[in-house]
Each structure stands twice: as C-alpha cells, then as structure tokens.
Amino acid sequence: MELNVNNGTDTGRIHLTTDELEKLRSAMKKLAKEKLDSIIANHSPEYWENYWNAVKRRRMRL
Amino acid sequence: MNTPWYDYLPDSFDRMFYFASSGEGNIDKVLIFSYLDDPDVYTVTMGNLRVDGSIDVHGIGDTGDPASVLSTVAKAIAFFLTDYPEAGVFIEGTTAARSRLYQMAIVRELDDLGKYFDIYGFDGNCEEIFQPGKNYRSFTISLKK
C-alpha cells in the first residue's frame, strides 16, 4: 500500500484518504495490542500488583 | 520543548498521532495511545511508517534524530493529556536498552517537561517522583496538578 500524502495545504496538515487512514489506524491498533501484550507478559503478577497499588496510592494523595 | 513539525489526527477510539520527524512533510512516525487495563492509564506505541504503508516498531532504518523524535513524542503526550487530564501515560521500552534511552531523554528534557508534567519512575516495587541518576523499569507521565 502506498500512501498518497497531500502536504500542499495552507495549514500544512497532512491528508490521508478515509481508506488509507482506516488501514493505518487498524495497523497501529494491532501493533499497540501486540506491544501491550508483550509489556504485560514481560513482568510478573507481583510487578503489576505493585504498580497498580502504587498508582492508587499516588491518586489517593492527590 | 523544542519540537520539529508534526501533525496529528484525533481518533474516536484510541488516540492516534502521525507526524514527520524529519520535518520534511512526509509522514514518518505514527503514534497511538491505548488503554492499559485501568480507567486512566494508557500506553503509547510509536512506529515508523514504511513507504509500502507497513509499520515498523523496532526502529530499523530509522534515520530520524532520536532527541527530536522523543521531543515530538513528548508533545504528543501533552496533547493527549490535555484531552484526558486525569490520565497517566505508561512508558516502558520493549527492551532494556530502549528503556534506558527513554530515561536519558527524560533526564535531558526534565527542566522543560517538569513545567507541564509530573513524571514518576517505577522500579518494580515502588513508584516515586522521577529522580535523575536512578534506574527505573517504567515511567508514568501525567499532567502537573
């Protein structure tokens, strides 16, 4: 898939077609899920329990 | 923060940004914020857009300046947190080397970042305000209260 990017706008905004954007979005979501799964699998349940407890303590202090 | 030119496009589900790290106007980087199993914590994933439209998340063939790329990511985080002011962005490298790179970038940008963000480091047991010189396994960035 080649993306035809129109950057010749007054605002400098990049424009993708709806189809191109949807393909890009789909690809990124897939990658984000793979990364998320990898991050979660990278650490023990104890690590995550410590992390979420730390987040909760921090929020209670604010 | 000194950042190169970039553009972004809001997404109705996750939040996706895309920008040119080289500043030459061609889409180079794509960045997406995804919910991480808590109402207010998100991960961020960045990829390089290849000419065939596929995404590379490993940085192979990356010709962008790492400092400017990370600065641009910081600006994307700022925009994201503006829309989600109660959220935190969880940052961890896919490898230990990448996590160190993030830590180095945070240290370098700390004066600037610290004006807008609270940055926390997590060492696996405890979370604390980010301290330069200490090694952390992950980081959480939120808007300064």
Considering chain B, what is the average pLDDT of its residues?
75
Give the span between the Cα atoms of B98 and B104, in whole angstroms: 10
pLDDT by residue (tens digit) across B80-91?
A: 888 889 899 998
**ipTM (interface pTM):** 0.73
**Disruptive mutation site among A11, A15, A21, A31 for chain B (greatest number of B CBs within 10 Å):** A31
Q: Is A14 on the interface with B (CB under 8 A)?
A: yes
Q: Is A15 on the interface with B (CB under 8 A)?
A: no
Contact between B126 and A47 using a beta-carbon 8 Å cutoff: no
Nearest chain A Cα distance for residue B130, angstroms: 13
Q: Is A25 on the interface with B (CB under 8 A)?
A: yes
What local confidence, expressed as pLDDT, does residue B59 receive? 55
Nearest to A35 among B9, B41, B43 (CB): B43
Cβ-contact B36, B43 below 8 angstroms: yes
Beta bridge partner(s), residue B45: B32
> Is residue B25 scored above 80 in pLDDT?
no
Among the residue ranges B112-116, B124-128, B129-133, the one predicted with the least confidence is B112-116
Q: Is A1 on the interface with B (CB under 8 A)?
A: yes
pLDDT by residue (tens digit) across A11-38?
A: 444 566 778 777 877 888 888 888 888 8
Per-residue CA distances from B105 to B30, B75, B85, B108, B109 (Å): 19, 13, 23, 5, 6
pLDDT by residue (tens digit) across B59-113?
A: 544 445 566 666 777 778 888 888 889 899 998 877 778 788 888 888 887 888 8
Does residue A1 or residue A15 have the better pLDDT?
A: A15
Give Cβ neighbours of residue A16 (< 8 Å, ≥ 6 apart).
A3, A5, A24, B9, B27
Contact between B27 and A14 using a beta-carbon 8 Å cutoff: yes
β pairing state of B88-91 and B41-49: parallel
Give the span between the Cα atoms of A42 and A23, in whole angstroms: 28
What local confidence, expressed as pLDDT, does residue A3 receive? 38
A-chain residues near B92 (CB < 8 A): 39, 42
Does residue B19 or residue B42 have the better pLDDT?
A: B42
